[in-house]
Structure formats: C-alpha cells, structure tokens
C-alpha cells in the first residue's frame, strides 16, 4: 500500500488519535489546552469561556491538527518501510558485511533510524545515495531551507505532503553525522562514498530504466569499497533500491568480478569528511539559520548578500574543489586503488 493510501486509512483513526493527543489534563499537558477547548472538553477549573484568557484561535487549531496529520503521515511511512524489510545484511567479497538501510527520503523517523543503524554497526565505510552534483545535501541543513516544500512539487499536492519535504534527504546528513562521530575502525581509515549516478543524468530520464541503472551503480560502488579492504559497510539508500541493489550484489558475487565498472562514484577520505564538516560550520556561521528564516525582513542588500554567501558555500563544484586530493571521482578501478593506497 502506498503511503498516501495508507494515510487515508489512518485518517479514519483521527478522532481517537486526537483524544490521545490532547491528553487527560491541561495542567500536565499545557500545549494541548487549545485543542481540548476547541473539541469541547471543557475549561480548566470548570470556568466560564468568557472569563478565560487566551482563547484558541483558528491558527492554534490548525497548528495542532497539522501535528496530528504529520504524525499519521510519518506512521504510514514507517509501516511501509517495515513491510519492505528495510534493514538487510549480506556478505560479499571474502567476508565483507554489508548492511543495507532502506529509507523514505521525506521521513523524519526514517532519517533517525538510519543514523541509529550507523551508530550501532560502527562501519568503516558509509555509502550514500548521492553524487558529486548533490554534495550540497551534506552541507545544507533544514535550517537553511524554506519552510515550504520545494517549488518543483506539484502545487496540487496536499499540504501534508508538502510539509514532509522539510525533512527531504535528512537521512544522508544524519547518517553522515553519526558516521563521523563513531569510533575509528581498526586497520583502515573511514571512507565516505557517494555512490549514485549524477543527478543531471537522472533528471528527465525514464524512471524504470534509470532505477535499474542506479541500482547497478550503487552495487558496483559498494563492491569496490569492499575490494579496497573495508569489511564492515553501511549503505543508506531509498527503499525502492533495496531489491535491485541486493540482487546486483549477489550477481557480482556469483561472477566473482574483481574489477567492477561503476558509471559514477565519489570517494571521500576521512580527512575530506572533516573538511565537509568544517564547511557545515562555516555555513552556519556565515548564514545563521535564524537569520536565513527571517531574510524577508532584511533590507534588499543584506538579503542579497546572505543569498550570495549561501549559494557560494553550497556550490557543488566549489565543495568538490575544496576537498582537493582527499576526494576522487571514479574513472577506473586502477585509479581508485592507487588513490586509496596513497591516503
């Protein structure tokens, strides 16, 4: 069942969930007071509505109901991921353990789960469904986004759908943060791999054929990472890629291919990952999230300066150049192995 369909089914439980949301007591749950009053639960101390300050208004009610709706939506996503068996473990390349984590790109809970898996597994290499053209995703946090969904979303999409995209691609940032905070692996240095084909190739292409192409590319980069000597790998992918990537890894294992041709891949050393973290800090310093959210209140010159700084710090080419020799765009297995041996 698709999340939107499941959401419609879950919405039938809304009255019960609303009761759960408001809680038994406005004293113990002050945030629920407005909703309790609006739904006829009565007033604190049994007072007269005319004598109570802070009566709920339409905005208060809408905010509370949005929270309920968002909760239902995230629950629908979570159930779908569980049904798809979103956590899978397989063994490849002479004993390398690969943990595949299937996510929904718009799910906050899914992002938190991906980070938890990384913390628990403590991999020496992290594979992400990104590419060199989407490097900005690792730098830009939710604090530097618009509150609304991106302009490319269909304006006819329900508002609840649009709100979820505030969390779009959170799983990559949270997994990266967990990866960098985990303990150092023994024998090898940490390696980050952006294993998807380039976004410019994906845009406008046929979905089915592109999905197979991306699955093959993701699997090839996972196997290349194993051949570099990493025996504990976590790959955070969209849930729709799980079956295809697993099948492709099993095929490569059967054929025992030593040199796997990948269409694209960006390999970043541990030192390069630290540079990415420094750029994250620089972005927060140069473009404070609070200031960014209130940019419409700034003068034209101040707002233009803020936008210029944001775009400069998030420019994929500039980010890649800043990594210098600590990153390599894959062209051949031989070049990758030579680069890795020099680290």
pLDDT tens figures, 194-222: 999 998 887 666 777 788 999 999 999 99
The C-alpha angle 232, 123, 317, rounded to 5 degrees, equals 110
How large is the average pLDDT for residues 24-29?
A: 44
Helix (H, G, I), strand (E, B) or coil at 156: coil
Which of 7-11, 24-28, 247-251, 332-336 has the weakest average pLDDT?
24-28
Residues 273 and 327 reside in one and the same domain:
yes
Residues 121 and 183 grouped into a single domain: yes
Percent of the chain whose predicted confidence (pLDDT) is above 90: 49
Q: What pLDDT was estimated at residue 77?
A: 55
pLDDT for the residue numbered 183: 85
Whole-number Cα distances in Å, 78 to 3, 19, 89: 9, 22, 19
Q: What share of the chain is helix, strand, coil (3-state, %, to 5)?
A: 60, 10, 30
Asked whether residue 51 is assigned to any structural domain, the reply reads: no
47 occurs within a structural domain: no
Give residue 40's pLDDT band: very low, low, confident or very high (50, 70, 90): very low
Model confidence band, residue 76 (pLDDT cutoffs 50, 70, 90): low
SS3 string, 200-238, reads HHHCCCCHHHHHHHHHHHHHHHHHHHHHCCCCEEEEEEE
Considering the domain architecture, whether residues 206 and 68 belong to the same structural domain is answered as: no
pLDDT confidence bin for 158, thresholds 50/70/90? low
Q: Are residues 66 and 173 in the same domain?
A: no
Q: 80, 108, 140: which is the final residue of a domain?
A: 80
Cβ neighbors of 17 (< 8 A, separation 6 or more) are 68, 71, 72
Are residue 164 and residue 127 in the same domain, yes or no?
yes
Beta carbons of 135 and 316 less than 8 angstroms apart: yes
Same-domain pairing of 90 and 27: no
Nearest to 32 by CA among 70, 71, 63, 10: 63
Question: Is residue 55 one of the residues assigned to a domain?
Answer: no
Pair (319, 216) in one structural domain: yes
Tens-digit pLDDT profile for residues 226-276: 999 999 999 999 989 999 999 999 999 988 766 777 899 999 999 999 999
The per-residue pLDDT of the chain, averaged, comes to 78
pLDDT at 89: 95
**Model confidence band, residue 81 (pLDDT cutoffs 50, 70, 90):** low
> What's the number of domains the chain is made of?
2
Q: Is residue 49 part of a domain?
A: no
What would the two tokens of residue 71 be?
């909760």
Decide which of 69 and 338 is more confident: 338
Q: Domain containing 18: what range?
A: 3-41+60-80
Res 256: pLDDT: 75
Closest CA to 65 of 107, 21, 108, 25: 21
Do 67 and 90 lie in one domain? The reply is no
Is there a single domain that holds both residue 240 and residue 315? yes
DSSP string over 85-126: T-EEEEEETTTEEEEEEEE-TT-HHHHHHHHHHHHHH--SEE
| Residue at 277 is within a domain | yes
Residue 341 has pLDDT above 70, yes or no: yes
Same domain, 20 and 125: no
Query: Is 28 part of any domain?
Result: yes
Q: Are 143 and 178 in a shared domain?
A: yes
Note whether 90 and 178 are same-domain residues. yes
- Residues of the chain with pLDDT > 70, as a percent, come to 66
**pLDDT at residue 43 greater than cutoff 70:** no
Q: What is the pTM of this model?
A: 0.75
Burial level of 195, CB count in 10 A (0-12/13-18/19+)? buried
């Amino acid at each position: 069942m698709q999340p939107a369909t499941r959401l419609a089914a879950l919405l039938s439980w809304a009255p019960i969930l609303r009761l759960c949301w408001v809680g038994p007591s406005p004293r113990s749950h002050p945030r629920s007071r407005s909703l309790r009053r609006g739904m006829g639960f009565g007033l604190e101390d049994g007072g007269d509505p005319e004598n109570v300050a802070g009566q709920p208004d339409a905005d208060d009610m809408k905010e509370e109901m949005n929270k309920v709706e968002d909760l239902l939506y995230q629950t629908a996503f979570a159930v779908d991921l569980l049904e798809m068996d979103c956590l899978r473990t397989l063994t490849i390349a002479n004993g390398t353990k690969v943990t595949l984590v299937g996510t929904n790109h718009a799910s906050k809970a899914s992002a938190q789960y991906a980070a938890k898996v990384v913390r628990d597994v403590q991999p020496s290499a992290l594979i992400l469904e990104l590419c060199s053209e989407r490097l900005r995703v690792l730098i830009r946090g939710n604090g530097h986004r618009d509150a609304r969904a991106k302009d490319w979303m269909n304006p006819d999409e329900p508002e609840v759908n649009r709100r979820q995209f505030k969390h779009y691609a959170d799983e990559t940032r949270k997994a990266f943060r967990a990866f960098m905070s985990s303990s150092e692996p023994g024998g090898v240095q940490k390696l980050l791999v952006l294993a998807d084909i380039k976004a410019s190739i994906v845009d406008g292409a046929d979905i089915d054929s592109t999905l197979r192409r991306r699955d093959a590319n993701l699997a090839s980069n996972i196997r290349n990472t194993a051949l570099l000597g990493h025996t504990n790998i976590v790959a955070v992918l969209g849930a729709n890629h799980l079956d295809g990537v697993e099948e492709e890894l099993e095929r490569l294992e059967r054929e025992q291919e030593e040199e796997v041709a990948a269409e694209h891949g960006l390999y970043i050393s541990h030192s390069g990952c630290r540079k990415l973290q420094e750029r994250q800090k620089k972005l927060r310093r140069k473009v404070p999230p609070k200031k960014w959210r209130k940019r419409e209140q700034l003068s034209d010159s101040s707002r233009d300066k803020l936008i210029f700084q944001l775009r400069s710090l998030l420019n994929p080419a500039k980010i890649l150049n800043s990594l210098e020799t600590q990153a390599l765009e894959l062209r051949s297995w031989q070049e990758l192995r030579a680069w890795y041996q020099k680290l």
